[in-house]
Amino acid sequence: MNPLRTLSTLGQSLWYDNIYRAMIRSGELASMIKEDGLKGITSNPTIFEKAITGSSDYDAALARLLEQNAQQNARDLFFSLAIEDIQAAADLMLPVYREANGHDGLVSLEVSPDLAYDTKSTVAEAKKLWKRVDRPNLMIKVPATQEGLPAVEELIDAGINVNVTLLFAVERYRDVVDAYLSGLERRMRRGQPISQIASVASFFVSRVDSALDKLLEQHPDEKAKALTGKIAVANAKVAYSAYEELYASARFKPLQNAGARAQRLLWASTGTKSAKLSDVLYIEELIGRDTVTTVPPATYAAYKDHGKPKTTLSRGIAEAKQQVDSLKAFGINLKSVTDQLENEGVKSFAKSFDTLLGAIESKSAELRKKASAHA
């Protein structure tokens, strides 16, 4: 049996961490839904940068948008292009969404990364995008920065599906759950329904090992070296333990009784970045019920080829906690590392976004020039 399809039998939803126009139009996405049991799509500024700048697939659409309004800036043009892709993907995913009663079949679109430290602007743009896309199976991605947390609460209160992204630390994950529950509580107090709101907390995996392994490999203690390639999975398992605790709490019970769903953990950054590790490590070690794994193209193909699905997430939780705790004894401050990863993640997405806007501006200038020459 297709290893990708088997994940759903183990309680885990498979999402694809990629989107581009050709995969939608060629039938590739429809095939993945049918053959692999694909249940969702995630996107980010870097993915759209590669899609739009790496092909000519968007040139005709860009020319059309400029014909409609030649004065549009690069940001407006980008969101128009992105929204066309998101809407088309959401339409293909709609049968999955309906079959799962809103639990899956979701497609994520991120707010502008340069708003990561601006709560008010994040909320305003998220609401604008939600209205423009106009699909029930849209998820708005919001970074899990300190400023992003109140935005999450407000958007959940507004009935908007939210994918909370760039999560690296278990403590920050607890804050994300608090924001999600607070949003549901506010909405319920207003007498509004909460049963159809979907949310995930995107917990990044491989980047944690990429940062920590450099420190562990150079450590004089062999016990520290033995943790190389293990902390990212351990950190994720500790987060899953927190998930089980928080959603079994007395606080969640009345929300659950009113139809609310738990905000699932989503494993992001699942592509292995070290040649020393298995190319499917972060899929195989984090398979468990009520979770999502979003998989980039190379890892998706690798797992389909030689993945061996079995439940692994709930195993070795005590050992995972011990591994994470042991970092202190080796003089490694995990919080400092995860704080740095969050900052770098925001900067990386902002850089991709700037590159993307620059490329759109250049293409637009060429198209305007051609249009004026033919006028």
Tens of each residue's pLDDT in the chain, 375 residues: 899 999 999 999 999 999 999 999 999 999 999 999 999 999 998 999 999 888 889 999 999 999 999 889 999 999 999 999 999 999 999 999 999 999 999 999 999 999 999 999 999 999 999 999 999 999 999 999 999 999 999 999 999 999 999 999 999 999 999 999 999 999 999 999 999 999 999 999 999 999 999 999 999 999 999 999 999 999 999 999 999 999 999 999 999 999 999 999 999 999 999 988 999 999 999 999 999 999 999 999 999 999 999 999 999 999 999 999 999 999 999 999 999 999 999 999 999 999 999 999 988 888 888 777 776
| pLDDT value of residue 158 | 98
Query: Is 123 in contact with 149 (CB distance < 8 Å)?
Result: no
Of 97, 90, 95, 94, the closest CA to residue 132 belongs to 90
Parallel/antiparallel/unpaired status of strands 199-204 and 264-268: parallel
pLDDT at residue 372, as a whole number? 72
> Which one from 39, 141, 230, 363 is the annotated catalytic residue?
141
Q: Residues near 200 by Cβ (< 8 Å), separated by ≥ 6?
A: 139, 163, 164, 263, 264, 265, 266, 292
Helix, strand, coil % in the chain, rounded to nearest 5? 60, 10, 30
CB 294, CB 202: distance < 8 Å:
yes
- How many Å apart are CA 72 and CA 279, to the nearest integer? 43
Q: In the prediction, which pLDDT does 375 show?
A: 60
Q: Are 268 and 16 in contact (CB under 8 A)?
A: no
Q: Which helix (H) or strand (E) holds 45?
A: helix 45-53
Q: Is residue 325 left, alpha or beta, with left meaning phi > 0 and alpha meaning psi from -120 to 50?
A: alpha
Residue 277 carries which side chain, given as an amino acid letter? Answer: L
- Domain hosting 258: range is 3-373
Give the number of domains in the chain. 1
> In degrees rounded to 5, what are phi and psi of residue 53?
-85, -20
pTM here?
0.96
- The pLDDT score that the predictor gives to residue 166 is 97
Strand, helix or coil for residue 98: helix
pLDDT at 41: 98
- CATH, residue 139: 3.20.20.70
By the 8 A CB rule, do 55 and 85 touch? no
What CA–CA distance (Å, rounded) separates 192 from 183? Answer: 11
Residue type, 58: Y
Is 141 marked active-site? yes
For residue 262, what are the contacts with CB-CB under 8 A and spacing of at least 6?
Answer: 243, 247, 252, 256, 290
Say how far apart CA 223 and CA 97 lie, in whole Å.
46
List Cβ neighbours of 249 (8 Å cut-off, separation of 6 or more): none
